């Protein structure tokens, strides 16, 4: 098996960092709107509803409650 170059490793690391920052932001926004929600459910929604059209709609619905 070939060893990956440092450029590839750096690019993969940068993508992983960006994903984790986005996830942390979505979790924070959901937690602020639903403070009594189960943390596991909040994390699930933050991970699986991260598409551009879906997440803003979820936030808008929760904000309107």
pLDDT tens track for 2-48: 788 888 888 999 998 888 898 999 899 889 988 888 888 888 888 88
Q: Please check whether residue 10 lies inside any domain of the structure.
A: no
**Res 55: pLDDT:** 79
Q: Please check whether residue 34 lies inside any domain of the structure.
A: yes
**Res 48: pLDDT:** 83
Q: Residue 1 above 90 pLDDT? A: no
Question: Is 51:35 a contact under the CB 8 Å cutoff?
Answer: no
CA distances (Å), 42 to each of 13, 17, 31, 39, 64, in order? 25, 20, 7, 5, 18
Q: Please check whether residue 1 lies inside any domain of the structure.
A: no
Q: Please check whether residue 15 lies inside any domain of the structure.
A: no
Q: Please check whether residue 29 lies inside any domain of the structure.
A: yes
pTM of the model as a whole:
0.71
Tally of structural domains, the chain: 1
Q: Please check whether residue 36 lies inside any domain of the structure.
A: yes
Q: Residue 58 above 90 pLDDT? A: no
Residues spanned by the domain of 52: 22-63
Length of the chain as a residue count: 65
């Amino acid at each position: 098996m070939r060893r990956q170059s440092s450029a590839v490793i750096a690019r993969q690391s940068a993508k992983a960092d960006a994903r984790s920052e986005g996830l942390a932001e979505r979790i924070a926004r959901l937690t602020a709107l639903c403070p009594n929600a189960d943390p596991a459910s909040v994390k699930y929604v933050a991970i699986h509803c991260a598409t551009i059209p879906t997440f803003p709609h979820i936030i808008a619905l929760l904000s309107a409650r």
